[in-house]
């Protein structure tokens, strides 16, 4: 089994149970030296999509799951990996038990654009359900977002 580091809506254990039912929660941790951002607004139906980019001054809360190969294929389909929307990379995650290697999805597009308020709410709810620190959840809820009916930037 491989460890998967979820930083967006897949942080929600209930969602992951539906998308990858054979992938138990392994724990939580932080991507040190990475920043949560958004991009690919022309790809997403509801504004820009979540991704992570390297940034030595930042960190991103993640939820780790033990993912068998057959669930990994299901997640790839959900995340649009076969369509080139996201690609997988290996990352080092800091946990209370030490560093672990995991894979995560990164957007295969340029950074920029605003997510919808709905999408940010989904991410904040997922982080809260996963036990992210209150200040992390609050920062997600207070990020700038696209207004309803606003054209792409």
5 labeled binding residue = yes
CATH of the domain at 12: 3.10.490.10
- Does residue 8 lie in a domain region? yes
- Does residue 107 lie in a domain region? yes
119 labeled binding residue = yes
DSSP three-state, residue 7: coil
Give the structural domain span for 66. Answer: 2-140
- Does residue 149 lie in a domain region? no
9 labeled binding residue = yes
DSSP code at position 47: B
- Does residue 86 lie in a domain region? yes
> Could you give the residue numbers annotated as active site?
79
- Does residue 147 lie in a domain region? no
Run of H or E including 50: strand 49-67
Other CB atoms within a 10 A radius of the CB of residue 50 amount to 24
Q: Domain tally for the chain?
A: 1
Please, are residues 5 and 75 in contact by the beta-carbon 8 Å criterion? no
- Does residue 6 lie in a domain region? yes
Q: What is the pLDDT of residues 16-44, one digit of tens each?
A: 999 999 999 999 999 999 999 999 877 66
- Does residue 151 lie in a domain region? no
Q: What is the pLDDT of residues 49-100, one digit of tens each?
A: 999 999 999 999 999 999 999 999 999 998 888 788 899 999 999 999 999 9
Task: Say what the pTM is.
Answer: 0.92
């Amino acid at each position: 089994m491989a460890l998967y580091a979820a930083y967006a809506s897949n942080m929600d254990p209930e969602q992951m149970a539906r998308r990858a039912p054979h992938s138990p929660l392994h724990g939580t941790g932080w991507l040190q030296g990475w920043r949560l951002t958004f991009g690919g607004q022309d790809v997403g139906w509801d504004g820009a999509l979540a991704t992570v980019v390297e940034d030595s001054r930042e960190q991103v809360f993640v939820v780790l799951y033990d993912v068998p190969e057959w669930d990994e294929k299901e997640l790839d389909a959900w995340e649009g990996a076969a369509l080139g929307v996201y690609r997988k990379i290996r990352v080092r995650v800091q946990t209370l038990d030490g560093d672990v290697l995991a894979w995560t999805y990164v957007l295969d597009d340029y950074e920029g654009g605003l997510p919808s308020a709905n999408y940010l709410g989904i991410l904040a709810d997922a982080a809260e359900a996963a036990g992210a620190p209150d200040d992390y959840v609050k920062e997600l809820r207070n990020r700038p977002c696209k207004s309803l009916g606003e054209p792409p930037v």
